[in-house]
Amino acid sequence: MSNKLSSITIRTKLKSYLYPALSGTILGLSRLPLHLGFLVFFAFIPLFHFFSEQRNKKEIFFAAAAFGSAYTLVCLHWISLVTFPGYLGTFILFAAYFYIVFQLYYYIKHQNPKFVYLGFILVWISF
């Protein structure tokens, strides 16, 4: 019984990380020269859905890794074609970068929920 319960819990957690990955994919597609720039206006909707629930620092880190991985694979895919260690370095850099951005967003969300979206815009632009 506990194996089944832990399996369901793991599946639920993995499904929740699909939202940041989807958000990173949409944002990456909006930056490619495919005339899909309008997607940037929809890219953060799955990310806001992910942050609508209570999260801890570990979950935020894995969300940042999922977002950074998807974004790097879509937008900066050519780095992995040139050098795989370069891609790993870029992945680590983007995971750390987005962890800081997501952590600041989460802090603003809990300190002053009235300004959560304005805070997200300011944090996103400032980085």
DSSP secondary structure letter of residue 55: -
DSSP secondary structure letter of residue 37: G
Nearest to 58 by CA among 115, 26, 16: 16
Is pLDDT of 81 > 60?
A: yes
According to the model, what pLDDT value does residue 29 have?
Answer: 93
The structural domain count of the chain equals 1
pTM of structure: 0.83
According to the model, what pLDDT value does residue 3 have?
Answer: 59
According to the model, what pLDDT value does residue 4 have?
Answer: 60
Containing structural domain, residue 34: 2-126
Compute CA distances 57 → 22, 52, 84, 87, whole Å. 20, 15, 28, 25
**Which residues does 17 contact at the CB level (< 8 Å), separation at least 6?**
50, 62, 63, 66
The C-alpha R_g of the chain, in whole angstroms, comes to 16
Is pLDDT of 5 > 80?
A: no
